[in-house]
């Protein structure tokens, strides 16, 4: 199962941690894992390339973690939050249809 923790500050998304393989099918044929990866990777690229938001990112051993740095503000932060909210909408849709393979958790973090 893939577990994605979406991190919030004051009710606004500031990052996420995605871990694990969904287990829907074998690697290379897993449509659930592919969908999750497409959404999380696109969010990463959107936050860093489109919104130009400074973020800490780690990708290793089946984990992708992205956290906005505290100093990100203004339009860049607004864009990053919108991208993260859009990612969350897509992930929730996957979770509704494939709840045995994806679990989304929300976590409030301190500023």
**Number of domains forming the structure of the chain:** 1
Listed in sequence order, the residues at least 6 apart from 53 whose beta carbon sits closer than 8 Å to its beta carbon are 47, 68, 69, 72, 76, 77, 79, 80
Q: Determine if residue 26 is left, alpha or beta; phi over 0 gives left, psi from -120 to 50 gives alpha, anything else beta.
A: beta
Q: pTM for the full model?
A: 0.93
Q: Domain with 29 in it: what CATH number?
A: 3.30.70.1490
Tens of pLDDT, residue by residue over 47-99, are 999 999 999 999 998 899 999 999 999 999 999 999 999 999 999 999 999 99
Domain that holds residue 76: 2-108
């Amino acid at each position: 199962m893939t577990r994605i923790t979406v991190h919030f500050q004051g009710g606004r998304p500031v990052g996420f941690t995605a871990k694990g393989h969904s287990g829907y099918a074998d690697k290379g044929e897993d449509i659930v894992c592919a969908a999750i990866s497409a959404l999380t990777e696109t969010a990463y690229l959107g936050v860093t390339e489109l919104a130009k938001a400074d973020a800490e990112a780690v990708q290793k051993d089946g984990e992708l973690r992205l956290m906005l740095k505290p100093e990100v503000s203004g339009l860049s932060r607004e864009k990053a939050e919108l991208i993260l909210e859009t990612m969350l909408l897509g992930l929730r849709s996957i979770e509704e249809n494939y709840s045995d393979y994806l679990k989304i958790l929300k976590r409030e973090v301190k500023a």
